[in-house]
Amino acid sequence: MSDHPSHDMLFNETIPDIFICQTRWDLRILVSNLPYEGLPKTKQPNRYFPGNAVKTTKYSLWFFIPMNLYEQFHRFANLYFVGLAVLNFVPAVEAFQPEVAIVPICVMLALTALKDGWEDCRRFRSDRRINHTSCRVYSRKVSGFVERHWKDVRVGDLVEVASNEIIPADLLLLHTSDLNGVCHIETASLDGETNLKRRLVVPGLNTQDSSFEPQNFHCTVAVEKPNDNLNQFKGYIETSDMKRLGFGIDSLLPRGCTVRNTDLATGFVVYTGHETKSMMNKNGPQYKRSKLECKMNIDVLFCVILLFSMCLIGALGKMSLNVPLFLTPGSHGHMDSNPLSGLYMFFTMIILLQIFIPISLYVSIEMVKMGQIFFITNDVDLYEEKTDSRVQCRALNIPEDLGNIHYVFSDKTGTLTENKMVFRRCSVTGTEYSHNENGKSGKCKFPDRKLLQRVLAGGGDWDGCGGIRRCEATDLYLDFFLALTVCNTVVVSTATTARAQRQRVWHQSTSEIDISAQRCYVAESPDEAALVHAAKVYGFMLIARTPNSVKVRLPHGVELNYQVLDTLNFDPHRKRMSVVLRHPISGEIVMYTKGADYTVMELLDFERSAYKLNTASTQRHLNWYAKEGLHTLCFAKKVLSESAYKNWSLLRQEALAAIDNREELLMETAVNLEKQLTLLGATGIEDRLQECVPDTVMALREAGVRLWVLTGDKAETAINIAHASRLLDQEDLVIHMNTDDKAVCKSILDRSLEEGRRHTRPGYPGLSIGLVIDGHTLDMALQSDLVDRFLELARLCRSVLCCRVTPLQKSTVVKVVRERLKVMTLAVGDGANDVNMIQAADVGIGISGQEGMQAVMASDFSISCFKHMKKLLLVHGHWCNSRLSNMAIYFFYKNVTYVNLLFWYQFFCGFSGTSMIDIWLLIFFNLFFTSTPPIMFGVMDRDVSAETLLGLPELYRTGHESEGYSHFTFWIAMLDAFYQSLVCFFIPYLTYQGTDIDIYTFGSSMNTVSLFNILLHLAIEIKSWTLVHWVTMLGSVALYFTVTLVYSATCISCNPPSDPYWTTQQQMSEPIFYLVCVITTVVALLPRYAHNALIYIKGAHIFHWPTFLQPAPPNQPSPHTVSLSLFHSLSLCLPQVHIPCAEQHAGPHPPHTGEASGAAGPCHPGTVDQGVEGVQRRATGRAELPETDPGAGAFQNHTYTLHHQQSPRNPNSECSPAPPQC
Amino acid sequence: MPKKELETANRPDNTAFTQQRLPAWQPILSAGIVIPGFVLIGLAFIGIGVALFLTSRNITVLEMDYTGVETTSDCYKCSAGTLPNCVCNLYFTLNETFPGTVYFYYGLSNYFQSYRKFGASRDDNQLSGDTYYFTSPLAVCTPYQYDVNNNPIVPCGISANSMFNDTFNLYQLVNGSKTVPLDGRGIAWWSDYNIKFRNPTSDPLRNAFNGTVKPPFWSKPVFELDLTDKSNNGFLNQDFLVWMRRAALPNFRKLYRRITGPDYASGLPPGNYTIEIAYNYPVMSFNGRKKVVLSNVSWMGGKNDFLGVAYLVVGSLCIVMSMVMLIVYAKFKFPDDV
């Protein structure tokens, strides 16, 4: 410090000044650490800010046990166990030896602690790795950058990052090696977006001169307090000459991102460690409770009630029974009074019968879900080779909800479609050019021959010197393609080879390498890339882009370097962007504007009548494009005079320099400039349907899932995509709702409802109904007085399209449907606009596509394309649901069956709480002997093969019919459990009554009988036996006999008063024991087995208990044809079922049957655009569109019944799974 | 299409296990398997049932209640429990030979040896001969841990204290009365006699019990239970061992003696018999009953018709089930015929 007195002075003067300004925002005032280097910590100006080390671990080494215990005791189940263990230490009520009673809870706690510890250890290791990554921090001592660990970076440090390095903390960009002060970063780790983002040195900070000396950075930095908003950041730098320079998110290099395309960047650390944007955005997997678990909790409550009533019976029994006098004939020792002993007995019974409440069920379910998720994530069918990504489960506890979905809410762009844009059509100066070949190949490779000739002819004599005004017509063509080339934010990347390779694999359309030039276009939106590529085909090639210039090669090889005067970026309010250029030769200032058709059309200069005709035909083309489902964009230009530009430029500068209201001012200036435009043309970009989307949609529809599409697009586009993806069929009744008047909205709803009811009347072979609703109308329909009507209508509809909806509306719709209709909802989307919806639904699925990872981050499951939904829902969903519900039911059954033996025994031991089974064996029975088979059952059982499930989507409905887990099945299981426990108790009882059998021999026979009974019961339930099943089942039996025999041979008097010594051996030497085992097991399982066999033999006509007893409503597709109990037969007997891949390669258009306007109801055909209500039959024939093969049309009307063992589906399909081995 | 390893790093393993394609066997419940299966099981069960039933029929059991509830009973006089050393007689007549080795049991009803407190109240350390516990028995033995003078009770606890102490002698009434020899050796479990229960190592045995008192119910200390056989004393006394193996159910019998001797080794010949009972054990207070059971045994143990009947019933049920299934099967297989 002493050798730099000037710094001292500087800060003494500056700091107080800045504190005065703190009133405006909640500010954080920072200065460079450099002047204080080497000083003790108390002198450091930034000492109050946390370090850059991150700690994501929950526990510390020393306090692991207490902290973990504290955590665990938040769970009810553990408290229950501890309560019981404590109760057992009360001598009056003890049922077991106290030491033994704490074993279950200890095992449970230890297992959980082990799991937590292991997870924490992994987090610790990853933290350590991150914290010890090295980076370069400037040091005054060596006057250069020195290597430091990430954890040692502090706020106020100056950090240098090189290309391809990861940014260690949130940095304010001060200097880059780029002359323009640009630094490109890749934010994939933050939001998953792989495109390059441009970051700028703090504007006005004059550091781009050759030598930036961190030592000389004496400015004070004021930034807002740390927050988790990734897209917002503001602050200012106060330079030593008291000038304030504002900056925004454009100057922030967030931690975790990677620097690309920039050799060196130097930044000032503003946030560290847990205060960085990336860390504040990190949150663990969400906890969701599945529907099954909610139902199960109710049944657990039933168990509690049952337990209490059984304990009450015990207590009453004890009270009514006089204490046998042989216990206390002496004078000393007193007996408790009857009511008191009854009370004690109540608690003793609770301890004795504690496993009646299947607490271990929760642990088992967690393990089962882990196994299920392992299988889901390991499914090779859900792996996408192009992106090398598999399905990810971010919510670990709702896999079974996938099997019980009623409503699917889907985004359109990027979810149903590829979001890979293909330049399909364009209209220049009112002439339409179709690019059919692009449409066929799916790439922007082929120019339209007519247009190419036109461009080449027009520009043939144009060699760069003739000026722009040479020929009006050519001019417009030239301008049109120039606009395509330059009016965007596409970056020409000179990426490193590794990155280029990766990009080639990952993003074939957004960034394609120009092999010859090693040039790669990185665009923020796929539309832009498609346009640039399209222009390239016509010879207009974007060669380089810097913030101030753009270099373009024209068709005849001339390279022009346009000066970019300004870029008016896209924003959602204007829905357009503009670029202001200065022509390198003529010096003319031109603005090119690109935007949504309706915004650009409004801004046209209609004074110039010459364009009117063009405008009208372009509009016609645009409408046509929209109907075809193309994304439309309009291009326009405007020539500015020098003076006009200068005036505007001044305003613009002011706006740029503004600190408050900067956004508003900038927008205002943009709007000021973008008017009186000249229309150049329009483009139609095709967003192709993803692979197998129609097939997936069909499958989901057959599975009884209602599909809603929520899109921000226009109704025409949405309807078109809906037809292409089979959401709507040609003969469907489509109801359009588009109105601004609430009264009209209400009347449409009423009339549509009437119409809808007519068509869905029971027994009436009505039409399927589709509903198309506009965002405005949706708002009205969701108001409280109309929402019921709307939902009722929606319930009658097979598919619903909501167009022009905002992200907020998307989530509102999901919430309303979910809460009002009490159904399971699933939302699937790929973009940031779907995040709300994904979070609102019961199950959120994110598609990791072209639009970044925000949807994925918010989702419960992430997949890489829509077609994976089919297997995820139909197969994994069904499996997880049926496995878990069967397993849970079995678990209840198992515990009740076993523990009831103890209950029945109370009638024969004077209600004294004696357990006739040795307590260790009792605990082991649940803990080891019979714990693995149900878990294996829950993870691995296959009631129906994957091929059958995919081939007969109707089977998915069994999840809806709650055949899996319902209170009914629960009670059936309970009844069965009571019956079986009675059998298991009373057959040995009747056999041994009156003999000299002793307690533990009696118990040991019962234990063995129960083991066989419980395992064989599971064996009946197991639908397919693999090696794993055999090993676990036989292993359990072997384990039981080994442990029991060893235990009863070694425990001489190890566990008084129980006396298991030699009992099992004694027992097994008597033939009668085996006879008892055989008959008890047979009698216990006979009803269930006979029932199953009868059902099987009867075939399709009698069903599982639930459907057997509850006839399905008549108009519902009969569940009888798809009952679970038939799954054996299905999976065995059905021939190979294949699913055709509908014809998306032939074009997205379904067959058209010509106009068949509404015969039903008050109908205004073709009123879509006028926004008038109407119920009409959807039919918009377009003869020129390709017809599809008739087979696909035939198959959509086909309904499956069991008797249709032949599938009409096309076996040579690429969407079908590998042919099943039958 | 061959890809570079790096590009498919995330590809899941395509194994039968991870893809859930393990070869699986599906149990088929088709009529062709189930119906014959039921028939087979039914037939097998009926076979076993018949065998069991016949075996059980061939077992002879003679049960005689001697609680003395009825005034006609000779033991009525003793049942009040007021007479010390009350002896009563139980007469019975065999019309035909009681075949085989006859086992002599005593039976108790409504007696809960399985009562939790009853079972817990014993000190296994004492019973395995550990003399440390002779001086300080476990607390579970209360109220029979120490006597009023604070002397340790050996064997302590309710179980031991309540040991059955009626004794029986069997006489055949032929030309006066002829003693039927009763053999009390080897009536307890081998494992109890040889491993679980141990006497303290001291000679004479009684020295080990110095400073201890007998259980209050007992008339004799544990080391003098059998005055005729020195080795049948202490914790290894067969009757004691039999008593200490707790019965599972409230109505039980326990082996008292085997009838041996040259005249009776193959059964009791027809004739008149009397059992002389030293009536000591009070059961009236808890509505208990005492009885004497004479029985021979077979491979399936004592007489029990239940199991045989159960097998017969279940076997028949299986046959009936198979017929029902056959009808159902026929009905749905050939629906037009019905």
Comparing alpha-carbon positions, the chain A residue that sits nearest to B127 is: A1053
In sequence order, the 6+-apart residues with CB closer than 8 A to the CB of A550 are: A486, A542, A544, A561, A562, A564, A579, A581
Which structure tokens are listed for B218?
């007992």
d(CA B201, CA B209): 11
For residue A1028, give the chain B residue with the closest CA: B22
Longest dimension (CA), chain A: 129
Of chain A, the end-to-end C-alpha distance in Å amounts to 84
Percentage of chain B exceeding pLDDT 90: 42
Choose between B29 and A681: higher pLDDT: A681
pLDDT at residue B4 is higher than 80: no
Whether A411 is a known active-site residue: answer yes
Q: How confident is the model at residue A480 (pLDDT cuts 50, 70, 90)?
A: confident
- Report the alpha-carbon distance of residue A1034 to residue A1011 in Å, rounded: 12
Of B12, B252, B301, the CB nearest to A383: B12
CA A102 to CA B338: how far, in whole Å? 63
CB of B227 less than 8 A from some CB of A: no
Spatial distance between the Cα atoms of B117 and B123, rounded to a whole number of angstroms: 13
pLDDT top residue among A192 and A615: A615
- Using the predicted structure, report yes or no on whether residue A6 has a pLDDT greater than 60: no
Q: DSSP code of A48?
A: T
| pLDDT digit string, tens, across residues A842-881 | 999 998 876 667 778 778 898 988 999 999 999 999 999 9
User: What pLDDT is recorded for position A1160?
Assistant: 33
pLDDT recorded at residue A326 = 61
Section A317-338 average pLDDT: 62
- Which residues pair with residue A708 across a beta bridge? A409, A800
If phi > 0 it is left, if psi is from -120 to 50 it is alpha, else beta; for residue A430 that is: left
Are the C-beta atoms of residues A1156 and A1179 closer than 8 Å to each other?
yes
> Measured in whole angstroms, how far is the alpha carbon of residue B220 from the centre of its chain?
26
Q: What is the DSSP string of A727-783?
A: SS-TTSEEEEE--S-HHHHHHHHHHHHHHHHHHT-TT-----EEEEEEHHHHHHHTS
What is the band of A442 on the pLDDT scale with cuts at 50, 70, 90?
A: low
Contact A1079 B314 (CB under 8 A): yes
φ/ψ (deg, to 5) at B54: -65, -45
Indicate the residue type of A263: D
The answer to whether A22 and A28 have CB atoms below 8 angstroms apart is no
pLDDT of residue A1169: 34
Residue A762's pLDDT band (boundaries 50, 70, 90)?
Answer: low
Q: Identify the residue with better confidence: A269 or A196.
A: A269
Using pLDDT thresholds of 50, 70 and 90, give the confidence band for residue A418: confident
- Mean per-residue pLDDT for A1126-1135? 36
Minimal Cα distance from B51: which residue of A?
A1075
Percentage helix, strand, coil for chain B under 3-state DSSP, each rounded to 5: 35, 20, 45
Given a cut of 50, is residue B5 above it in pLDDT?
A: no
Summarised one tens digit per residue, pLDDT across range A887-928 is 999 999 999 999 999 999 999 988 888 899 988 898 889 888
C-alpha to C-alpha distance for A376 and A946, rounded to whole angstroms: 13
Of all residues in chain A, what percent carry a pLDDT higher than 90? Answer: 17
Share the mean pLDDT of chain A: 77
Please give the pLDDT value at position A1003: 93
Region A696-723: what's the mean pLDDT? Answer: 85
In A542-568, which positions are buried (b, 16+ CB within 10 angstroms) versus exposed (e)?
A: bbebeeeebbbbbbeeeebebebbbbb
B45, B47, B51, B57 alpha-carbon torsion, rounded to 10°: 80
pLDDT (0 to 100) of residue A608:
63
d(CA A460, CA A595): 29
Residues 6+ apart with CB under 8 A from A531: A423, A484, A488, A633, A683, A685
Q: How far apart, in whole angstroms, are the C-alpha atoms of residue A938 and residue A940?
A: 6
Which pLDDT does position A987 carry in this prediction? 95
Q: Measure B334 CA to nearest chain A CA, in Å.
A: 11
What mean pLDDT is predicted for residues B310-338?
85
Which chain B residues are Cβ-neighbours of A1063 within 8 angstroms?
Answer: none
- pTM over 0.80? The answer is no
Q: Which residues of B touch A330 (CB under 8 A)?
A: 143-144, 216
User: Of A369-378, A1107-1116, B164-173, which gets the smallest average pLDDT?
Assistant: A1107-1116
Q: Is residue A1207 scored above 50 in pLDDT?
A: no
According to the model, what pLDDT value does residue A1119 have? Answer: 37
What does the alpha-carbon distance between residue A1008 and residue A1081 come to, in Å, rounded to a whole number? 10
Active-site position among A411, A774, A842, A976: A411
| A1090–B105 C-beta distance less than 8 A | no
pLDDT at A440: 63
Task: Outline where DSSP puts E strands in A187-328.
Answer: 196-200, 220-224, 235-238, 244-247, 252-253, 258-260, 264-271
Burial level of A572, CB count in 10 A (0-12/13-18/19+)? exposed
| pLDDT tens string A147-157 | 999 988 988 88
CB contact under 8 A, A1057 and B119: yes
Which helix (H) or strand (E) is B168 found in, with range?
Answer: strand B167-173
Higher-confidence position of A17 and A585: A585
Out of A332, A909, A1024, the one facing B25 most closely (by C-beta) is: A1024
Angle value at C-alpha A629, between A628 and A633, nearest 5 degrees: 105
Higher model confidence: residue A581 or residue A25? A581
Helix (H, G, I), strand (E, B) or coil at A1082: helix
Closest CB from B26, B128, B158 relative to A327:
B158
**B332/A contact by beta carbon, under 8 A:** yes
CA atoms lying within 13 Å on the CB side of residue A611: 20
**pLDDT tens digits, one per residue of B211-244:** 899 998 898 899 988 888 888 999 999 999 999 9
Sign, CA torsion A1165/A1169/A1170/A1173: positive
pLDDT in tens, A346-396: 988 988 888 888 777 878 888 898 899 999 999 999 988 887 888 888 777
Q: How far apart are CA A408 and CA A869, in angstroms?
A: 10
**What is the predicted pLDDT for the residue at A971?**
93
* Position A1162 pLDDT exceeds 60: no
More confident residue, B187 or A1099: B187
What is the end-to-end Cα distance of chain B in Å, rounded? 59
- B64 and A CB contact within 8 Å: no
Supply the pLDDT for residue A286: 55
Q: What is the pLDDT of residues A923-956, one digit of tens each?
A: 889 888 998 999 999 999 888 888 888 988 888 8
In a mutational test of the B interface, the residue from A318, A914, A1033 whose CB has the highest number of chain B CBs within 10 Å is A914
What integer pLDDT is reported at residue A475 of this predicted model? Answer: 67
Contacts of B34 in chain A (CB under 8 A): 1093, 1096-1097
> Which residues have C-beta within 8 Å of that of residue A360, sequence separation ≥ 6?
A104, A108, A891, A926, A927, A931
The pLDDT assigned to A17 comes to 40
Residues 6+ apart with CB under 8 A from A955: A703, A874, A878, A944, A948, A949, A1122, A1127, A1130
The average pLDDT across A1036-1062 equals: 89
Q: Indicate the pairing of strand A799-803 with strand A392-393.
A: unpaired
pLDDT digits (tens, 9 = 90+) for A188-222: 666 655 567 788 888 777 655 556 777 778 888 88
User: Per-residue b/e over B136-167, b at no fewer than 16 CB within 10 Å?
Assistant: ebbebbbbbbbbeeeebbbbbbbbbbbbbbbb
Which residues lie below 8 Å from residue A749, measured CB to CB, with a gap of 6+? A737, A781, A786, A789, A790, A793
CA distance A484 to A486: 6
Lowest mean pLDDT among A965-974, A1115-1124, A1197-1206, B153-162: A1197-1206
pLDDT in tens, B35-86: 999 999 999 999 999 999 999 999 999 999 999 888 888 888 888 877 888 9
A1041 versus A101: the higher-pLDDT residue is: A1041
- C-alpha closest to that of A902 among A416, A459, A314: A314
- In which band, very low, low, confident or very high, does the pLDDT at A237 lie, cut at 50, 70 and 90? confident
Give the one of B248, B302, B314 whose C-beta lies nearest to A1083's C-beta. B314
Helices (H), A1099-1126: 1105-1109
Phi, psi (degrees; rounded to nearest 5) at A236: -150, 160
Q: Facing residues of A520 across strands?
A: A493, A513
A528 annotated to bind ligand: yes
Alpha carbon distance A407, A608 (integer Å): 52
Contact call for residues A532 and A521 (beta carbons, < 8 A): yes
Helices (H) and strands (E) counted in chain B, each on its own, are: 9, 11
Q: Look at residue A458 in the predicted model and tell me its pLDDT.
A: 58
**B155 prior amide bond cis, ω within 30:** yes
The four Cα atoms B229, B235, B241, B243 give a dihedral, to 10 degrees, of: 110
Q: Label the pairing between strands A392-393 and A220-224.
A: unpaired
What is the SS3 string spanning A806-851? CHHHHHHHHHHHHHHCCCCEEEEECCHHHHHHHHHCCEEEEECCCC
CA gap A358, A365 in Å, rounded? 11
d(CA A815, CA A232): 28
Contacts of B77 (CB under 8 A, 6+ apart): B68, B83, B86, B88
Tell me, yes or no, if B304 comes closer than 8 A to chain A by beta carbon.
Answer: yes
ipTM over 0.85: yes
A chain contacts of residue B307, beta-carbon cutoff 8 Å: 990-991, 1072, 1075-1076, 1079
pLDDT of amino acid B169:
93
pLDDT at A526: 72
